[in-house]
Structure 1
Amino acid sequence: MPRTTTDTATGPSPAPVGRRERKKAATRRAIADAALRLFLERGYDEVGIREIADAADVSTTTLFKHFPVKEALVFDEETDRETHLLAAVRERPEGRSIPAALREHALTTRLVSADGDARFAAFTDLVTRTPALRDYGQKMWLRHTTALARVIAEESGRPADDPACTALAHFALEAPRAAYPHATPREVVDRAFDLLEEGWNALVRSEA
């Protein structure tokens, strides 16, 4: 996935990594960049694993050590994505509801908004028109449901296993997927979050 300015994390600088870790990270990045370049040029289904390995100057064995399946070559920043997702809830401005914070995150991250970035627009088009990538990307994204539900519970003072928190987390993560087939994805995501926020606020009012 192409990196954008929204990928920049805040907070203390990470501890320095060793030479071996830096080399592994550089190899992973070279493979992912080569794969994305080829996919954008020719289409996901038209590019083979061996071609990607050759373009990155690695063996296919090395490629599979970093990316166990072909789809993973396109989605290589899951840890960063979860960090930013949880921060959107924990670090929301005072007075902003949890659904509103999740709405803002959905509308300003790479899930929906390219903000004029041509490379990102091409990436989004690639995922949208490739069923295998759409399904894999959504499966990876929904893996964050448990972590998000836990943070929602913490921030709302609810039990860790509260089903309302799990439901909000799940549907907030599902919402951007509804935007894929539409020409106006921001409008679609807004409508989805209108429903989520109305339901969450009704729950909060009923317990007040």
Structure 2
Amino acid sequence: MTTPGRRERKKAATRRALSDAALGLFLARGFDKVTVAEIAEAADTAVSTLFAHFPAGKEALILGDGAERGRALAEAVRDRPQGTSILKALKDFLATRGPFEAEPDAYTRQVTELVVTTPALRAYARAMWTDNEESLTTVIAAETGRDADDLSLRLLARYVLEIPDIAGTAPNAPAALEVAFEHLTRGWPDL
């Protein structure tokens, strides 16, 4: 593996500075009371630099653009250990994310609380999950030898992708994750 060049390191540092500045301002004043200009100023960058790194705006500063989620979901299904069901692999994957983590670090706890309590961030997070419906359906179909147009697989993918929004806001999110997958397993016992 090659180490990133100077340019890539600078880009990563700028992205981190913008994300850190945004989180600090959001936690101090609330998401809706912070402007992109204030975030750029706090990170010592221009607003145009902020949008060059985060074209989706303020929400992306905290939650990213969703591309990583799609890749990670597909990998969870494709790279699951031999003998592990697709549903178990997806449950295990979600158990490592945000509100479902058993022992989250301070940053994860702060971001999770911010997302759950901020309607714009919660809606953005939900969209980032549900935008992966087609790709998750496709990978499940490929792994099971079924047709990607199978309505049952599309329904399963959508239900799985709604879990972070529904179960992730429960008082005991890890327990809610277990309940959600118990129900999914009853509906799709062969997956």
TM-score calculated relative to the size of structure 2: 0.89
- Deviation string, structure 1 residues 44-88 (Cα, Å, up to 9, x no partner): 122221111011111112112222322221112623222222111
Return the alpha-carbon distance in structure 2 between the equivalents of residues 19 and 116 of structure 1.
32
Equivalent residue of 2:112, what SS?
helix
* Residue 26 of structure 2 is aligned to residue 26 of structure 1: no
Q: 2:115 aligns with which of 116, 127, 135?
A: 127
Displacement of 1:125: 0.7
Displacement of 1:114: 5.5
Q: 2:32 matched to which residue of 1?
A: 45
The Cα RMSD (Å) is: 2.0
User: Taking structure 1 as reference, are residues 78 and 181 closer, same or farther at Cα in structure 2, changes over 3 Å only?
Assistant: closer
CA contact (8 A) 1:114 1:121 kept: no
User: Taking structure 1 as reference, are residues 146 and 153 closer, same or farther at Cα in structure 2, changes over 3 Å only?
Assistant: same
Q: 1:196 aligns with which of 167, 176, 184?
A: 184
| Misfit runs of 4+, over 6 Å | none
Gaps of 5+ in 1: 1-12
Equivalent residue of 2:188, what SS?
helix
Q: 2:150 matched to which residue of 1?
A: 162
Displacement of 1:19: 3.9
Return the alpha-carbon distance in structure 2 between the equivalents of residues 35 and 16 of structure 1.
27
Q: 2:160 matched to which residue of 1?
A: 172
Return the alpha-carbon distance in structure 1 between the equivalents of residues 104 and 85 of structure 2.
28
Gaps of 5+ in 2: none
Equivalent residue of 1:71, what SS?
helix
Q: 1:57 matched to which residue of 2?
A: 44
Return the alpha-carbon distance in structure 2 between the equivalents of residues 184 and 110 of structure 1.
13
Return the alpha-carbon distance in structure 1 between the equivalents of residues 66 and 167 of structure 2.
20
Displacement of 1:153: 0.7
Displacement of 1:41: 2.5
* Residue 141 of structure 2 is aligned to residue 153 of structure 1: yes
Return the alpha-carbon distance in structure 1 between the equivalents of residues 187 and 168 of structure 2.
24
CA contact (8 A) 1:99 1:193 kept: yes
Return the alpha-carbon distance in structure 2 between the equivalents of residues 110 and 153 of structure 1.
27
Q: Report the AA paired with residue 28 of structure 1.
A: R
Return the alpha-carbon distance in structure 1 between the equivalents of residues 111 and 159 of structure 2.
24
Return the alpha-carbon distance in structure 1 between the equivalents of residues 16 and 149 of structure 2.
37
Identity value in percent: 46
CA contact (8 A) 1:146 1:166 kept: yes
Displacement of 1:98: 0.8
User: Taking structure 1 as reference, are residues 181 and 78 closer, same or farther at Cα in structure 2, changes over 3 Å only?
Assistant: closer
Return the alpha-carbon distance in structure 1 between the equivalents of residues 60 and 106 of structure 2.
22
* Residue 44 of structure 2 is aligned to residue 93 of structure 1: no
Q: Report the AA paired with residue 159 of structure 2.
A: F
Q: 2:22 matched to which residue of 1?
A: 35
Aligned residues: 190
